[in-house]
Amino acid sequence: MSALLVESEREAANATYRSVVPAGESWIHEIPQGAYFRIVDLEGNQAVDTLFYNAHDYSDRYSAQDTIRNQRNIYLTTGTRLMSSAGSVMMTIVADTCGRHDTLGGACAAESNMVRYALEKRYMHACRQSFLKAIVEWEHGMDKRDITSNINFFMNVPVTPEGGLNFEDGVSAPGKYVELRAEMDVLALISNCPQLNNPCNGYNPTPIEVLIWDGQDH
């Protein structure tokens, strides 16, 4: 499946919810079935680490393996159905103006910063810390075991002929977005990636915007 660049018919002014997520910060919010959810790369070349959960059963969550197998593609774009660990469709990408989203690269962590870059990088802020901070503040019984393989919206991680992964310059640009329709009540969890050691954020993490429509208004 090649990238399917499709613009949304929904107007930002009609969104029922809008929020800017600063660089390096987390965001957690429930999205009801039938609602539309947009992530906007405000300044371009920003990786947005994202997880989705069944809002009524957090053990039923986004599954990278099932999503890749279901669509037979390692990249996400318009038409991709995000599958849960129980085999249900959680979200469908209905609009995409970027065309490349990663589901293999995972989230940066203190440990991976140390191993990939340098020992002194261990203490740099990382997405896994942001995820954990958000679920602790959510206070709904989640813990670190609930942080599994995530989506990296706007992130460019090509697979080499040898089967390795490369973190390359992003293909996004200011104002590019991805929009999804919730096929069940979901809990969305975002870490707006703080990574400074590879090109996924252009070595300069920047804010994003998230918007939600109730499924009726455009």
Evaluate whether 154 touches 179 at the Cβ level (below 8 Å): no
Q: Which residues pair with 37 in a beta bridge?
A: 180, 212
- Residuewise pLDDT in 10s, the chain (218 residues): 567 899 999 999 999 999 999 998 999 999 999 999 999 999 998 989 999 999 999 999 999 999 999 988 888 999 999 999 999 999 999 999 998 898 887 777 555 444 454 445 445 567 888 999 999 999 999 998 999 999 999 987 656 677 666 565 667 899 999 999 999 999 999 999 876 555 556 678 899 999 999 986 44
31 contact partners, CB below 8 Å, separation of at least 6: 37, 55, 182, 185, 186, 187, 188, 212
Q: What is the DSSP annotation of 15-54?
A: -SEEEEE-TT-EEEEEE-TT-EEEEEESSSS--EEEEEEE
In three-state secondary structure terms, 61 is strand
Closest CA relative to residue 130, chosen from 17, 18, 22, 41: 22
Confidence (pTM): 0.88
Cα(133)–Cα(40) distance, rounded to whole angstroms? 22
